[in-house]
Amino acid sequence: MNGQGATGKHEQFRDGNGILDALKPVAVIDIGSNSIRLVIYEGLNRDLSPLFNEKVLCGLDRGVARTGSLEEEAADRALRAIKRFFMLSEQARVSSVVVLATAAVREADNGQSFLSKVEDICGDKVIVLSGEEEARFSASGIKSGFRNPVGCVGDMGGGSLELVALGMGKEEKGTTFPLGGIRLREVTGGSISEAANISRLALKRSKVLPLLKGKVFYAVGGTWRTLARLHMAEVGYPLRVMHNYRIGGPQFRNLCEMVERCDLEMLAGIGDISKVRQALLPYGAAVLRQIIEIGEPAEIIMSALGVREGYLFELLSRDQQSEDALILACKKLCRLRSRSHRFAEEIFEWSEKVYAIIGIKDTPEQKRLRRAACLISDMGWRAHPDYRGEQSLNVIAHAAITSIDHPGRAFLALCMFYRYEGISGAHPGSRLREIAGPENIDLARKLGSFLRLAYVAGASFPGMLSQMTPIRKDNRILLKIDSSLLSSMSEKLPRRWQSFSQYCGFEGVISEG
């Protein structure tokens, strides 16, 4: 059964089997102008975790600008991919398969014939998005993956470019331009300079770009993500995480100009990129450079989420949309990898009391990250004790989580490292600490020390931390423990309490409550 448009209800998704019992997997087959992609998500909720993700570069838009029709070879390859993807979706026992189609199919003279064949394979209607709908769903994808995004969203595919303003008090209808990579290559006969000229003339008419000056441009699309990968390689960036990767507007403009003009083989990291994708990079660079020069954004932020995620986001209720995707993701990790999810929640509740007594004043975002860290604080327990810190750091640093920037991601990873390794022993890599920044490093050491304390105090069993009350007396912090528990406390507890208290500038004392 297909989705029934953005206004449909998620009750349409029938029973399925997710990794977590309450989740029912959903599949999206995205028929783009350059690639056909299948993503099977773990469930329809605020945290869209992919169970399976595969694409086939078919180049459906190739020939559309020249002949007005989809080329037979590209269409046949796309149909083979769709047939395989639908079979895999059935094998995964998904609750629903949503099939979306964009510019190439929408504009081709033989697009309807192609759609009929797709519908024969999938057994239901394909949702053909207008350019305005593509822009809207791209913007919703950004809403899904970022906290309170403000700026302009651009989604560049093989056949078109969509632009839309977001969160600036002037919500514009999305605008579509025939500035996809394949389309530009065809209409210019392979001339990069001509592609830049065409892009500039078209984008000067945009009503969105004048709103962009000094703000953020959210970049969606495989070609632009590939450009960002080149930037990562050029600067030696330590995290291979594309979502929320940030580049200053002038720096990205310089990279785009270089890609337009130089031999691609000279670029660092180019060997990891397919020849098919390499061929479109100069056109993506030409379009993005014009956006930067006309709009003058302060920075470019890369997004791994776009139309697919935006479409599913709009199926959620308002209450579901308002949920915190990071906290939801950490709750999932907690249930999958921790010994007790109840104890993880109790750690956060206990941290509220301890932090208040000590006088640690978190910002709302720091408190949010502290809650996330508490939820994932036991994820390394199955590993060998000698490697728990390093493994947990690497898992969190590179986890498929959204609604968190890279400094926040580095903070959580460092928290896990210090939680297992302590704050006086080994040190994590300097580049990750550089991303986190001095303030986050200090907060991570403090929270890591607290988490080490909590797991000794409560032994990962619910119900114990509530019987331990912190009290402040001058420069001392007393931990009053119920008399029924005090005699059975771990010998490590006084040392852990003193270590944490000292790091916060106090003397730590254990007493009977």
Chain segment 43-101, per-residue pLDDT in tens: 999 999 999 999 999 999 999 989 999 999 999 999 999 999 999 999 999 999 999 99
Which residue in 12, 187, 3 sits closest to 100, CA to CA?
3
Whether 361 shows a pLDDT value over 80: the answer reads yes
pLDDT confidence of residue 274: 87
pLDDT confidence of residue 223: 95
CA distances 460 to 78, 378, 416, 500, Å, are 51, 8, 16, 18
Average pLDDT over residues 15-37: 80
Hey, what domains does the chain have and what are their CATH numbers? Answer: 26-128 (3.30.420.40), 132-310 (3.30.420.150), 325-512 (1.10.3210.10)
Whether 421 shows a pLDDT value over 70: the answer reads yes
Question: What's the rounded Cα separation, in Å, for the pair 470 and 360?
Answer: 14
Which residue in 453, 509, 440, 461 sits closest to 481, CA to CA?
509
Whether 172 shows a pLDDT value over 70: the answer reads no
Which residues 6+ apart lie within 8 Å of 267 measured at CB? 230, 233, 234, 258, 259
pLDDT confidence of residue 173: 74
DSSP 426: -
Tell me if 313 sits within 8 A of 144, measured CB to CB: yes
According to DSSP, the residues that pair with 153 across neighbouring strands are: 164, 218
Question: What's the rounded Cα separation, in Å, for the pair 346 and 349?
Answer: 5
pLDDT confidence of residue 426: 74
Whether 8 shows a pLDDT value over 50: the answer reads no
Q: Locate tokens 């036991």: which residue?
A: 378
| Per-residue confidence band for 468, with pLDDT thresholds at 50, 70 and 90 | very high
Whether 20 shows a pLDDT value over 70: the answer reads no
pLDDT confidence of residue 265: 83
pLDDT confidence of residue 170: 61
Whether 431 shows a pLDDT value over 50: the answer reads yes
Question: What's the rounded Cα separation, in Å, for the pair 271 and 303?
Answer: 23
Question: What's the rounded Cα separation, in Å, for the pair 165 and 213?
Answer: 12
One-character DSSP codes across 329-361: HHHHHHHHH-S-HHHHHHHHHHHHHHHHHHT--
**Which pLDDT tens digit goes with each residue over 235-265?**
999 999 999 999 999 999 999 999 999 788 8
pLDDT confidence of residue 314: 97
Question: What's the rounded Cα separation, in Å, for the pair 249 and 265?
Answer: 24
Whether 219 shows a pLDDT value over 70: the answer reads yes
pLDDT confidence of residue 64: 92
Query: Rg (Cα) of the chain, in Å, rounded?
Result: 26
- The least confident of 57-71, 149-163, 417-431 is 417-431
170 CB burial (10 A radius; 0-12, 13-18, 19+):
exposed
Question: What's the rounded Cα separation, in Å, for the pair 435 and 409?
Answer: 9
Average pLDDT over residues 378-389: 95
Question: Cα angle at 226 between 221 and 227, to 5 degrees?
Answer: 100
pLDDT confidence of residue 424: 86
pLDDT confidence of residue 487: 81
Whether 298 shows a pLDDT value over 70: the answer reads yes
Whether 14 shows a pLDDT value over 90: the answer reads no
Whether 383 shows a pLDDT value over 80: the answer reads yes
- The least confident of 58-62, 389-393, 423-427, 508-512 is 423-427
pLDDT confidence of residue 32: 94
Entry pTM: 0.92
pLDDT confidence of residue 469: 95
Q: Please state, rounded to an integer, the average pLDDT across all residues of the chain.
A: 92
Tell me if 149 sits within 8 A of 142, measured CB to CB: yes
Average pLDDT over residues 471-491: 90
Tokens of 393: 């750091």
Higher pLDDT pick, 8 / 300: 300
The Cβ of residue 212 has, within 10 Å, a number of other Cβ atoms equal to 24
Whether 7 shows a pLDDT value over 90: the answer reads no
Question: What's the rounded Cα separation, in Å, for the pair 497 and 372?
Answer: 22
**Which pLDDT tens digit goes with each residue over 183-196?**
999 999 999 999 99
DSSP 173: P
The long-range contacts involving 206-211, CB below 8 angstroms and separated by at least 24 positions, are 206/163, 206/175, 206/177, 206/294, 207/172, 207/175, 208/152, 208/163, 208/164, 208/165, 208/172, 208/175, 209/152, 209/163, 209/291, 209/294, 209/295, 210/295, 211/152, 211/165, 211/168, 211/170, 211/172
Average pLDDT over residues 301-307: 97
Average pLDDT over residues 296-323: 97
Tell me if 414 sits within 8 A of 447, measured CB to CB: no
pLDDT confidence of residue 167: 87
Q: Locate tokens 């990767």: which residue?
A: 245
